[in-house]
Structures are given as C-alpha cells and as structure tokens.
C-alpha cells in the first residue's frame, strides 16, 4: 500500500502541494517539489498549477528502458519490475522503518528519449491552454486568483478519460505510436 494507507497519515496530494507551496513561498521565499505518484503530463500540470516549482516523476519514468528493473512478459504484455522508493523491496538504513511504497510491474514505456519530449509537450500545451508562458506567470496567476482549479467528481473524471475502447490484436500497449502506424 501507499504511505497514507499504511501509516494513516498524510493529506490529499493536491491539497498538500497547494498549502505547502503557499506557506513555503510566503514564509521562506522558497519553492517546493511535488512528489507522489505523478505518472503523466496532466498530473505534472496539476502540481505546477497548485504552486510546485518542480515534480518528482519516478512513476512516470518507471517502465522506461533507462529505469532499473528487468523486463518480462505478463499476459502477453512486456512489463518491467517496479519498486517504489519506500517499498519493502528497497534497502533500509533503519530496520524499524515501515515499508510504505508499492512494488509491482509497469508496462514498457520505451526510452526516456521519446517519453520526456512527449510529457514536455503536454506541459507546454497545458500552459498554452491556461494562457501562461512561464512558470512565474503561472504561479502569479495562482496567487492573484485568476487561475481557477475545479474539483471533478469520479464520474466526471471517468467520462473525461478514454473509455469504451476495446483492445484489438496482440500488440503491446507500450508499443510506440510510430510502430503501430508502420512508421518505425
């Protein structure tokens, strides 16, 4: 399980990023780094919109060629072993420390040389959609109250995501779009 499930501590990630980023900037003039399962460019944008100056992207890069772990096939899909930084599979300096991360497997994502530009473009499009060009502009809009963040229900999130899609053939979901279109 995750830290908040096992230790019964913590806050919802968005609230934590917003409140800590605001406090750190107001009281100490410093930026914060958001951490906590960020796995796509949309989540990067949310963290930046809530005041983070940077994000940890371990979950996003897990499954890439450059990430540690061995590839194997599971139900015909190429996956890579994944151990979260605080999982029981990571070595501990203190034997009393409670393991609270996750371990498992993630779909092969290819190389970071393809993945990072894709994520970067998603963030650029997000900034463009918000009408901001730079991080300082984005954070100024947040402080000024002109950046509006809305809470979406679980049903709205499900409806807004890809749904009712059937997998055809035996191609790996981790295969690049170029390969699927015969452009590789």
Give the model's pLDDT for residue 181: 44
The 3-state DSSP class for residue 30 equals coil
% of the chain residues with pLDDT over 90:
46
What is the full DSSP assignment across 128-174?
HHHT--SHHHHHHHHHHT-S------HHHHHHHS--S----SS--TT
Verdict on whether the full-model pTM lies above 0.85: no
Give the model's pLDDT for residue 177: 40
| pLDDT, tens only, 35-83 | 877 889 999 999 999 999 999 998 899 999 999 989 999 899 999 987 7
Averaged pLDDT of the chain: 80
pLDDT at 139 over 80: yes
């Amino acid at each position: 399980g995750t830290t908040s499930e096992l230790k019964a501590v913590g806050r919802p990630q968005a609230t934590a990023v917003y409140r800590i980023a605001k406090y750190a900037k107001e009281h100490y003039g410093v930026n914060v780094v958001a951490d906590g399962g960020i796995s796509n460019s949309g989540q990067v944008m949310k963290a930046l919109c809530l005041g983070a100056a940077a994000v940890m992207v371990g979950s996003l890069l897990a499954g890439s060629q450059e990430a540690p772990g061995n590839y194997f096939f599971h139900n015909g899909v190429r996956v890579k072993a994944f151990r979260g930084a605080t999982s029981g599979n990571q070595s501990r300096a203190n034997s009393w420390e409670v393991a609270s991360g996750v371990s498992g497997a993630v779909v092969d994502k290819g190389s970071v040389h393809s993945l990072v530009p894709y994520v970067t473009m998603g963030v650029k499009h997000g900034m463009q959609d918000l009408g901001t060009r730079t991080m300082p502009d984005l954070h100024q809009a947040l402080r000024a109250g002109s950046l509006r963040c809305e809470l979406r229900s679980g049903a709205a999130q499900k409806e807004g995501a890809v749904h009712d899609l059937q997998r055809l053939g035996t191609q790996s979901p981790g295969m690049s779009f170029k390969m699927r279109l015969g452009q590789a």
